[in-house]
Structure 1
């Protein structure tokens, strides 16, 4: 049977799905174990999230991982993503990064647990807790998987909870640039700074944007803000692109479409516009971060050629300060 140490690893689960006569019927599920409670286990599979009651599990075991990027590639991409979402308050713990931004987004307010914290793991988590409490925030740790599996196992022992699994997906720009959209879509306007209505549209999704949010969104040297307007000049789609890291990754974030304009291909249209801009600035690959449970977005990105590079869990201390914003 599986244990907490298996969370974040690839497993196969044989479960009972029915009975034929006096014989049970089984089916197998393969995926990444993202949660294991006293009553259920949860897998991230190629087809989505699968929650299985433990009473239905016949057998379960860890299996060799699918082909995954090397640890160095995961770390390099996580550092590029950090540079694209720069928290203003920062410190280091060995190779770990401590980041705070007034609780605006988990990405900017969590310790990035990659590399060596230069001390035993339990002492590193103690130091993270102290640092965030000193800054008046609940301690959060961003744990890329399976690279940070030991971190997750230790956090489980300490009673830390986990936010929904996030997929870090990547794609080469070439297939994105090769996509075509509806001819009647309005152009994607790419600006060096966002308009007031761009901020308003993002705030409708992310909540109020404090000054620190504006600082994060505009504080990257190579960034662009996509605006798409209808015939009346009303904003109907937005996104942000940023190029960071030695490998010049294009990071795509805050892709949004107003409800009345959905199902017209605007998301693909905007991503292609950002890819064109990035290609002109010597980028060749793009990444984005999306919650695994957001099946509509995952499906859209899959059609554009994105696949999961790695995943991460944002872990939250059981107590010790005000909760951070998601």
Structure 2
């Protein structure tokens, strides 16, 4: 907190600091003059009619009455993480988008409108990486029309814990009644340690292919995969599918997918037979894919994991991955989920 020369706490932020990372202290209860303080750190996303909205890294928006403020200051951007390769949000957003391409897309200024007949939110949402070239309300109207013409609800993907205006966009969408749905995180890590995690003889038992065959799809968690889904799964600069054979006549014991794109290798669709879990098969699949990606010149890795997937998060942390940013999908007001 900021102190004056006399040692008193001071509020050193104003509405002009909207968009900056701030730290504030406020009274927890109305009328209390000492003790019971609450501290909040995040991006100041609005300050209107005497109410501040601060968006934390988790995506949570905290509303604060300005009369309860005790202290506040602008703080520097979060320090660089100690683990994993350095990367900007925009670089990772573009890399992850190239690894999961829609069947149809269209530009709206610096926004990309993506559609794939409703197969996953990532392939059926707007990726906003700059100015749409229109006032926000007009841009959102255009987005809703575009998705409506395709019989789809409109979704906009935003991020928290990333540089730029992503937090501000999320706050503006919430203000207009857009509904935030599943929150996930993008994690990064060094690639070589993943490949080195498993002995060569164990990796040798993993089959690698350029296309997802019927056996691979039988283990993939999404049932009844359509032709559109196959196009999305097969999209990306250099795509590999891994399978650990199961019992004779049965689906693979484990599968995974990796997309190599320059220095990056993106992991997805890592699935293990429930009866074969806790045998390290997910690690074996990822090690095999990592080895192939290293041969193609990649050095860094990324993956996406939902915030409530405790088992996967523990695995990825053990492999040296760490969170880079969180991302969210906002659904247009009044539209049902696909």
Q: Same fold (TM over 0.5)?
A: yes
Aligned residue for 2:258? Answer: 241
Question: 1:8 Cα shift?
Answer: 12
Number of the residue aligned with 2:243 = 227
Q: For residue 126 of structure 1, report the CA deviation from its aligned partner.
A: 2.1
Are the aligned partners of 2:260 and 2:298 in contact in 1 as well (CA < 8 Å)? yes
Distance change >3 Å, CA 63–CA 161, structure 1 → 2: farther
Cα offsets for 1:156-199 (capped at 9, x unmatched): 11111112321111111122123236977882111112221211
Deviation of the 1:109 alpha carbon: 0.1
1:166 has 2:178 as partner: no
Quote how far apart the aligned CAs of 1:68 are: 5.3
1:110 aligns with 2:125: yes
Q: How many residues align?
A: 297
d(CA) in 2 for partners of 1:167, 1:60: 31
Normalising by structure 1, what TM-score? 0.77
2:170 to 152, 168, 184: 152
Larger radius of gyration: 2
State the 1:210 CA deviation: 1.3
Query: Partner of 2:47 in structure 1?
Result: none
Q: Does 1:288 align with 2:300?
A: no
Q: 1:192 aligns with which of 207, 210, 218?
A: 210
Give TM-score scaled by structure 2 length: 0.74
Paired residue for 1:66?
A: 78
Distance 1:118 1:26, change over 3 A: closer
Q: 2:316 aligns with which of 288, 301, 307?
A: 301
Change (3 A) 1:105 1:178: same
Q: Judge which range, 97-106 or 115-124, deviates more.
A: 115-124
User: What residue in structure 1 maps to residue 289 of structure 2?
Assistant: 274
Aligned to 1:75: 90
Residue pair 2:128, 2:157 contacting (<8 A) in 1 also: yes
State the shift of 1:232 in Å: 3.8
More helix by share: 1
RMSD over aligned Cα atoms:
3.8
Instruction: Go from structure 1 to structure 2 and tell me whether the alpha carbon gap of 1:32 and 1:229 turns closer, same or farther (over 3 Å shift).
Output: farther
Change (3 A) 1:26 1:266: farther
Which one has more relative contact order, counting CA pairs under 8 Å at least 6 apart?
Answer: 1
For residues 289 and 81 of structure 1, the distance between their equivalents in structure 2, rounded to whole angstroms, comes to 9
After superposing on structure 2, the runs of 4+ consecutive aligned residues of structure 1 that deviate more than 4 Å are 5-16, 24-33, 41-45, 49-52, 58-65, 181-186
Aligned equivalent of 2:195 = 177
Counterpart of 2:230 in structure 1 is: 214
Distance change >3 Å, CA 260–CA 181, structure 1 → 2: farther
Whole-angstrom CA distance in 1 between matches of 2:27 and 2:319: 33
Where does structure 2 lack aligned partners over 5 or more consecutive residues? 1-16, 29-34, 45-53
The alignment status of 1:323 with 2:304, answered yes or no, reads: no
Shift of residue 144, structure 1, vs aligned partner = 2.2
